[in-house]
Homo-oligomer: A and B are copies of this chain.
Amino acid sequence: MIEQEFSSTLLDNAVNELSRLPGIGRKTALRLALYLLRQDTEMSTSIARAITDMRQGIRYCRRCHNISETEICPICSSPGRDETTICVVENIKDVLAFERTGLYHGLYHVLGGVISPIDGVGPDQLQIDSLVTRVMAGGINEVILATGATMEGETTNFYIFRRLADSGVKITQLARGVAVGNELEYIDEVTLGRSLSGRTLFDSPI
């Protein structure tokens, strides 16, 4: 790294720090820094405060490992949610995606990733043991395996399925098929094949 690239150590430092963020290279970092310099000091301080407050204030729910400001997250502690259903997802963004549908009212379990030997991620690095403990403790009727439809996601689903096989709990997975709005001609043959074998009774929209 060049020691004094921009004739100001403060600017150098800000560019170095901003370019540590993913997807932000040195050019973008410089653009952001120069933008902040043109704005009121208030903007820089409030962005800085929001970042540190978030990092220091947010922890993970002891039960489902979703982000939370309290020991148990608002979803886990909500009396309105169905406590007998657990939706197993890869990460926090997936929780947000399900919440946006407005159709899911059960609880979650955030794995923190998927099994991927190539990236050195085995079952031990994920929150799988805690899921098994949670299910074995009883009171659960259904576990929905909802990792991504990738090779790693399917492997993870299968591994969890095996671990929970003796639990007697119903284990389901997300339907695979044609995405809403897609033209058939552009769909890969694996997806199309699974949409065929998983076909459902026609449900008249009217």
A204 within 8 A of B: no
The stretch from A45-53, A135-143, A151-159 touching chain B is: A45-53
**Residues of B close to A10: CB separation below 8 A:** 50, 53-54, 57-58, 69
A187 within 8 A of B: no
Verify A17–B51 contact, CB threshold 8 A. yes
**Residues of B close to A95: CB separation below 8 A:** 7
**Residues of B close to A13: CB separation below 8 A:** 50, 53-54
Q: A22-B31, A45-B52, A47-B48 are in contact. List 20 more A-B contacts (CB 8 A).
A: A7-B66, A7-B67, A7-B68, A7-B95, A9-B69, A10-B69, A11-B54, A13-B50, A13-B54, A14-B50, A16-B50, A17-B47, A17-B51, A21-B47, A22-B32, A24-B32, A33-B54, A34-B91, A34-B93, A36-B54
Contact count band on A: 35 or more
Verify A56–B74 contact, CB threshold 8 A. no
Verify B58–A11 contact, CB threshold 8 A. yes
Verify A7–B75 contact, CB threshold 8 A. yes
> A-side binding surface: helix, strand, loop or mixed?
helix
Interface residues of A in 1-21 (CB under 8 A from B): 5-11, 13-14, 16-18, 20-21
A41 within 8 A of B: yes
Nearest residue, chain B, Cβ from A40: B55
Task: Evaluate whether A58 and B8 lie within 8 angstroms (CB atoms) in the complex, with A32-B22, A47-B20 already known.
Answer: yes
Partner of A21, one of B35, B68, B73: B35
A99 within 8 A of B: yes
A205 within 8 A of B: no
